[in-house]
Amino acid sequence: MSTTQLWLAVIGMGLITYGIRLVPIALQDRLPLTSRMRQALRYVPVAVLTAIIVPELLLPTGVLDVSLGNARLLAGVLAIGVAWRTKNVLLTIGAGMVALWLLQVVLASLP
């Protein structure tokens, strides 16, 4: 792609993304939410973020891998435990990354 086409590609992506974020805010008076819809919206973060997390842990290479050789799964399970106990995001990230690095070293040294 030429530089002009690249800018066009990026600006198009930006307009689409901004449109998605703006439309419900801008049009809410014309499209009022029912109480059932409000109820449903409360589950958006937990559902969306879990749908991003779980494949990262179970399919780190694009293929389902539920084994002790899956370092991301093991580190992720540990991080879930830390998050549950401490409710602290930074501790969760720190524990998960340290666990992943250690597991990578251990798994690489196995025959």
Question: Of 20-59, which residues contact other proteins (CB under 8 A)?
Answer: 20-26, 28-29, 33, 36-59
3-state secondary structure 14-56: HHHHHHHHHHHHHCCCCCCCCHHHHHHHCCHHHHHHHHHHHHH
16 near other proteins, judged by CB under 8 A: yes
Work out whether 87 is an interface residue with other proteins (CB under 8 A): yes
CB of residue 61 to other proteins, shortest distance in Å:
11
Which of 2, 69, 102, 104 touches other proteins by CB under 8 A? 104
- CA-CA distance, 85 to 91, in Å (whole number)? 10
**In terms of CB distance, is 27 or 68 closer to other proteins?**
27
Size of the site for other proteins (CB under 8 A): 72
DSSP class of residue 68?
T
Beta carbon of residue 111, minimum distance to other proteins (angstroms, whole number)? 20
Token look-up 């549950």 returns 84
